[in-house]
Structure 1
Amino acid sequence: MQYLKLDHLVHYIQHLDNFKYPGHLLTLQQGGQHEKLGTYNRLAYLNNAYIELIDVYKPDVLQKIIKTDEGRVSFPSKIVQDNYAQGLKTLAFRTQDIEQLKLDLEKKDVEVIGPVNMQRENMKGDKTSWKLLYIADPDYRVKPPFFIQWNEQEDTRNEKLASLRQNEFIIQSVELTSTEREHTVNKWQRWFDMEIINETESVTTLKLMGDEILFNISDGNDSGYKSVTIKDNKTTSPYTLIIRGLSYKFIAD
């Protein structure tokens, strides 16, 4: 399978129009609306990935779409499944060839849905488009990450986003729990060709072959994404912010 990288995290926040990170620590950029899903977003670009803050502006549209095969696995479907509880809902892994990725997964007998063409439009009328691929396997304890391919060359996209990135912040790891850790670990290894970096009696650390970000899967009484650890090159001591159902752990580099 081709190398994958973490592209972004999806953090659901209610009343997003009025939200700002404490002390404006992370700068939010204008995103746009996903008219097909009834959601909209704001974006915080960091050095090696970005955080997508998402909210729902048409609940009836989202409620309707998640009853379809595509909708039930779509990235905002977990919002409804969690009864609109705020927090980190899922992750997106970036690929350069989503059609080949689909073939690779199907060769492993992994059921997928997509690629799905998506776009959003900002207030200026500028459109951004991409393709998504979802794992349709219903037997999971944590909503699996999905795949994204942007409809522009990576160098072009990186150049366009360079001025928006807060390069002092680098995502180091994502922490999640599973009621059946071994089950989740086995799935993630199979789906994403992840390698085990470390394992203890209660935590397994995984890594994508083409990325340095770690994924720490712990035993838990429930399953879900719990925290993100971010290196802050401008701090000398660690600090933690609990923001709308997600723990942001900042560490000194």
Structure 2
Amino acid sequence: MFDHLVHFVEEPEKAIAFLKEKGIAAVEGGVHENRGTYNAVSYFDLSYIELLSTYDKELVRQTQHPKHSFLETVAEEQFTEGFSRIAIRTTDIEGAAKHFKNKGLTIYGPESFSRKRPDGSLVEWQLLYIGDPAGGMELPFIIQWQEEDAERKKELIERKVIQPHPSKAVLSHVTFAVRDLEKKIGQWAEWLKLEAGEVFIDEVLQAKCQSLELQGGRLVFGSPIGEGIVADVLRQRGERPFQVALSSPIKSESFSLFGGIYQIEKI
């Protein structure tokens, strides 16, 4: 299942305020102690956007991170604001490790992590990172939370971390800019065991697109057919996620926020 999208921002507090103006609720998350980072989060059921930042960039640089970790990615990109990576949730992280290893991919982990909430309590999880021998766009990382989904959702609602969005928005999909649509869709569909949709043309993005069906948030890949947003992303920052799409019965709006594009589509 889709778990979350990492959006690196310099000031999560400003992102919370900006999203609120757009009818999207976001709240303070907590601190990743001894790792130099902290976050805010915006939940859509159990799928969420993580607004990740640093309280100590030098600590992030000096800490030895697992290969292909999202913090390694953020540091290598010189803490440039924008969407970075996605995480996929599992209930069998050891089984996932065996699956990717059998596919010929390099794995790092699983490793255990925790974050201190504002009230001092701990959130705990395990992460698995996957390396593509051919290089290119980083694969999603795999997460297994200590709590089961139903228990975690209940607790997040009680803590008002999951709360209603004034726009009634739900997460629809994340869009990635890729150079070779057919190759990337084929690889990710096989590695992640996902079903691919039909190819379509997005005139706004000036891209040929195709989706992978993932519960909690589809993955849409786009390759440029002309000059436009996707071509610009590839030229400026390479293959990566660049847009998150939300569905709302109330409004339709597109806006940029700290290097990422948010598309609210009225349904």
What is the TM-score normalised by the length of structure 2? Answer: 0.83
CA contact (8 A) 1:177 1:226 kept: yes
Instruction: Find 1:102's aligned residue among 91, 97, 101.
Output: 97
CA positional deviation for 1:122: 2.2
Cα gap change, 1:157 to 1:150, in 2 (>3 Å) = same
State percent identity of aligned pairs.
24
Cα gap change, 1:48 to 1:123, in 2 (>3 Å) = closer
Other-structure match for 1:118: 113
CA positional deviation for 1:32: 1.2
Instruction: Find 1:225's aligned residue among 221, 241, 248.
Output: 241
CA positional deviation for 1:138: 4.7
Other-structure match for 1:52: 50
Which amino acid in 2 is paired with 1:149? Answer: Q
Count of residues in Structure 1 that have an aligned counterpart in Structure 2: 242
Uncovered stretches (5+) of structure 2, i.e. residues with no partner:
202-207, 224-230
What RMSD in Å do the two structures reach over aligned CA positions?
2.0
Instruction: Find 2:77's aligned residue among 55, 74, 82.
Output: 82
The 3-state SS of whatever aligns with 2:155 is helix
> 1:169-212, CA deviations, whole angstroms, 9 ceiling, x for partnerless residues?
2111111111233332233122211211112472222213xx16
> 1:99-120, CA deviations, whole angstroms, 9 ceiling, x for partnerless residues?
1111222222221111110000
CA positional deviation for 1:213: 2.9
C-alpha distance in 2 between matches for 1:64 and 1:36: 11
Other-structure match for 1:213: 217
> 1:198-252, CA deviations, whole angstroms, 9 ceiling, x for partnerless residues?
12472222213xx1632221114331111111011333xx211111111110011
Map 1:1-253 to 2 at 5 A: 5-19=1-15, 20-22=17-19, 23=21, 25-65=23-63, 68=65, 70=66, 72-162=67-157, 163=160, 164-166=162-164, 168-200=168-200, 202-208=208-214, 211=215, 213-219=217-223, 220=231, 221=234, 222-235=238-251, 238-253=252-267
What is the TM-score normalised by the length of structure 1? Answer: 0.88
C-alpha distance in 2 between matches for 1:79 and 1:125: 26
